[in-house]
A and B are shown apart, each in its own frame.
Chain A
């Protein structure tokens, strides 16, 4: 299996008035393409920090990140933006939708960053929203959608640019158990059908069970 993302001695430190915080400490992982990776651990263990570092949202203090054996230029903002734009999709606990855009406009937003015609963007957005079961909610604003529907729009947006990896931070954190199962099943389906690698931060053991690779963190270090 091809390695899609790996790290070598990845660390992230924060300076706080109480002292140095080691959010990530010497984390080395290697994840194969098509994996469904769950990142678990107690609160403050560094789960989200690891997710942000892997996705290029933050720069690690030290260590290397490799995407398909190419080292990410983590000191170069433009390179990180390009990495996020081309190869990643994001699903957040708070859905992270633009409030003044309709569902279809939110899904079209990442597509607008590429040289795709308006017609193609619209076609792709409609296709994804129908896949997410929101064919009849395309022109609804986020405030007009339920929490589950908003998360589905977020998933559709994450899929827009056909990413190699989806990073999900507590995607079911704001959903009731039934909706959580629905969303997790949807993610699993995407992972299996589209061979999209998923990194999902969760503190729920039930959600953790959906992954086939598990990373457990404690105090910024891999526990297992």
Chain B
């Protein structure tokens, strides 16, 4: 009879104790699998969402305020347009599109509007909000936006296919919805800004943002109108989320040390912070599970070993070595850990599947890699928790089963 068979026979003997021991591991593992599943899927979701959002990095002059990402460039000091070249020639990984802009408030009639100079093909490539205007030409896809996981994770976003406006002529402008309403202008109308006439190429659909009050014109035209040559207020960059995480911002700061580089606050800060919080929580829970799980298993093993003192004495008496007793208990611990890890993974995946849509607004699919981690972690906890009781048991004297000494 091999040691493993001995373990198997004993497992069937104390089913209630065994189940309670396994349950302790199962509960712990299920909690951590559920949290990790949700946070991992959420991280992917944030990455995809960020990529879908278009321009997610803004290079601003040092003195610019960034209270509102979408209006940060208005009336900001300027930076040299040459910085665009500098970024492009730096071969940074994860920079997909650049859009230099020059923005100033201007008075047109009785109203104040925001005049924004753009380089058409770049600007719209990083501004998905505008595609709804339907006036743009060739498709331009984000290099990291076409993620095959998008659809499987439920993040199909048509904005990934962006369009550029190659057709915006030097004398044309695009009018925000609100600006067009206030000025009473339609497509084909003429807008006069500081003595310069621009033809209204298209009125943009309402967005509900500051863009509704903007007048978009070619960057060169705006630079001429404002008399600010070779300068821009901001450079919008569409960067891959993964690249941002991998330090793209830092690399940009190295290239452009006298600028202020920021990302979309709500997304990059809040969502990534949420994910970080979930990761921290899962780490804390992991530590708690390591401690509580180890103590639970250790406690169970101590009780089991004490209860089996006589039996272990018999085994030692008839010729079992200390190492066999030690192995016997550790094999039992591994068995409990593996079963607890498997059950914990299944329970955790189910919990994540049920709670994912409610807690994080995402559909959580089981992550197979977590199964491996669950089993290894649970077995590890069980073994570590059992080391001392197993050692203690292996030192039982072979006369432990006898009535008197």
Select one of A23, A99, A112 contacting B13, CB under 8 A: A99
Name the residue on B nearest A112 (C-beta).
B1
Q: Is A199 an interface residue (CB 8 A)?
A: no
Contacts of A49 in B (CB 8 A): 405
State A81–B403 Cα separation when bound (angstroms). 21
- CB pair B9–A81 under 8 Å, yes or no, is no
Select one of A23, A77, A110 contacting B322, CB under 8 A: A77
State A19–B321 Cα separation when bound (angstroms). 33
Which residues of B127-163 have CB atoms within 8 Å of chain A's CB atoms? none
State A90–B320 Cα separation when bound (angstroms). 14
- CB pair A90–B399 under 8 Å, yes or no, is no
- CB pair B13–A100 under 8 Å, yes or no, is yes
| B2, B319, B397: residue with the most chain A Cβ atoms closer than 10 Å | B319
Q: Is A188 an interface residue (CB 8 A)?
A: no
Contacts of B9 in A (CB 8 A): 100-101, 105
- CB pair A100–B322 under 8 Å, yes or no, is no
State A23–B404 Cα separation when bound (angstroms). 12
State A90–B1 Cα separation when bound (angstroms). 19
CB contact under 8 A between A93 and B403, given known A108-B1, A112-B1:
yes
State A112–B9 Cα separation when bound (angstroms). 15
B interface majority secondary structure: loop
A118-158 interface code vs B (CB 8 A; 1 in, 0 out): 00010000000000000000000000000000000000010
Q: Is A164 an interface residue (CB 8 A)?
A: no
Select one of A94, A99, A100, A113 contacting B320, CB under 8 A: A113
A84-109 interface code vs B (CB 8 A; 1 in, 0 out): 11100010111011111100010011
Interface Cβ pair total, 8 Å cutoff = 72
- CB pair B13–A84 under 8 Å, yes or no, is no
Name the residue on B nearest A110 (C-beta).
B318
State A105–B322 Cα separation when bound (angstroms). 21
CB contact under 8 A between A85 and B318, given known A92-B402, A93-B403, A105-B1:
yes
- CB pair B401–A84 under 8 Å, yes or no, is no
Q: Is B398 an interface residue (CB 8 A)?
A: yes
Distance (Å) between the CB of A199 and the closest chain B CB? 14
B333-357 interface code vs A (CB 8 A; 1 in, 0 out): 0000000000000000000000000
- CB pair A48–B404 under 8 Å, yes or no, is yes
Q: Is B317 an interface residue (CB 8 A)?
A: yes
Distance (Å) between the CB of A86 and the closest chain B CB? 8
Q: Is A224 an interface residue (CB 8 A)?
A: no
- CB pair B402–A84 under 8 Å, yes or no, is no
- CB pair B1–A84 under 8 Å, yes or no, is no
Name the residue on B nearest A102 (C-beta).
B9
Q: Is A78 an interface residue (CB 8 A)?
A: yes
Name the residue on B nearest A83 (C-beta).
B319
State A58–B10 Cα separation when bound (angstroms). 27
Q: Is A213 an interface residue (CB 8 A)?
A: no
Q: Is A169 an interface residue (CB 8 A)?
A: yes
B1-29 interface code vs A (CB 8 A; 1 in, 0 out): 11000000110110000000000000000
Distance (Å) between the CB of A116 and the closest chain B CB? 11
State A146–B207 Cα separation when bound (angstroms). 90
Q: Is B311 an interface residue (CB 8 A)?
A: yes
- CB pair A94–B311 under 8 Å, yes or no, is no
- CB pair A81–B399 under 8 Å, yes or no, is no
- CB pair A57–B397 under 8 Å, yes or no, is yes
- CB pair A96–B401 under 8 Å, yes or no, is yes
CB contact under 8 A between A109 and B402, given known A58-B397, A99-B311, A100-B9:
no
State A99–B310 Cα separation when bound (angstroms). 10
State A101–B403 Cα separation when bound (angstroms). 21
- CB pair B322–A48 under 8 Å, yes or no, is no
CB contact under 8 A between A48 and B12, given known A90-B317, A113-B319:
no
Contacts of A92 in B (CB 8 A): 401-402
Q: Is A179 an interface residue (CB 8 A)?
A: no
Contacts of A111 in B (CB 8 A): 1
CB contact under 8 A between A90 and B318, given known A84-B398, A112-B1:
yes
Contacts of A101 in B (CB 8 A): 9
Contacts of B397 in A (CB 8 A): 57-58
Select one of B10, B314, B319 contacting A81, CB under 8 A: B319
Contacts of A93 in B (CB 8 A): 403
| B311, B315, B318, B397: residue with the most chain A Cβ atoms closer than 10 Å | B318
B216-240 interface code vs A (CB 8 A; 1 in, 0 out): 0000000000000000000000000
Distance (Å) between the CB of B224 and the closest chain A CB? 94
Contacts of A94 in B (CB 8 A): 401-403
Contacts of A98 in B (CB 8 A): 311, 314-315
Contacts of A100 in B (CB 8 A): 9-10, 12-13
3 interchain residue pairs of minimum CB distance: A85-B319, A112-B1, A100-B13
A to B CB contacts below 8 Å, 10 in the list:
A48-B405, A78-B321, A84-B317, A90-B317, A93-B403, A94-B402, A96-B401, A99-B311, A100-B13, A101-B9
Given contacts A48-B404, A57-B317, A97-B314, could you give 13 more A-B pairs where the C-beta distance is less than 8 Å? A49-B405, A77-B322, A78-B321, A81-B320, A94-B401, A94-B402, A96-B314, A98-B311, A110-B318, A110-B319, A111-B1, A157-B318, A169-B402
